[in-house]
């Protein structure tokens, strides 16, 4: 599933990046959650994830934590997910 909230087809820019290619579940979610906790509300994290369980589980898990998945895009054999940190700083 591709999500994109940019009306002109452009993805929003990110404030931080996390490359989790090759990182297995649940460690990829744990690392994403820890990175989001270090960010301020409203900032955007770009996460690179492998196909399969990571791209199915990490976006759903961060949404369950109250954050917003802004977009997902497939880049060859990897996915880029943009997540906006929500909540109090």
pLDDT digits (tens, 9 = 90+) for 34-53: 999 999 999 999 999 999 99
The answer to whether residue 77 sits within a structural domain is yes
Asked if residue 1 belongs to a domain, the reply is: no
Q: Is the pLDDT of residue 6 over 50?
A: no
Structural domain count of the chain = 1
3 belongs to a structural domain: no
**Structure-block tokens of residue 34:** 């820890």
Q: Which single residue is written with the structure tokens 């906790």? A: 37
- Catalytic site positions: 25
Residue 4, in any domain of the structure: no
Q: Is residue 9 part of a domain?
A: no
Q: What is the pLDDT of residues 11-20, one digit of tens each?
A: 789 999 999 9
Residue 1 has pLDDT above 90, yes or no: no
53-64 and 27-38 helices, crossing angle to 10°? 40
Any domain includes 2: no
| Residue 32, both tokens | 């994403």
pLDDT 10s digits, 48-73: 999 999 999 999 999 999 999 999 99
The CATH number of the domain where 21 resides is what? 3.30.110.40
Residue 6 located in a structural domain: no
Query: 23 lies in which domain range?
Result: 14-84
């Amino acid at each position: 599933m591709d999500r994109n909230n940019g009306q002109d087809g452009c993805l929003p820019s990110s404030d931080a990046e996390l490359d989790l290619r090759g990182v297995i579940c649940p460690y990829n979610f744990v690392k994403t959650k820890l990175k989001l906790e270090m960010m301020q509300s409203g900032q955007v994290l770009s996460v690179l994830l492998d196909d399969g369980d990571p791209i199915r589980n990490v976006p759903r898990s961060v949404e369950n934590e109250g954050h917003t998945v802004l977009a997902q895009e497939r880049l060859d054999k990897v996915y880029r997910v943009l997540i906006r940190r929500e909540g109090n700083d």
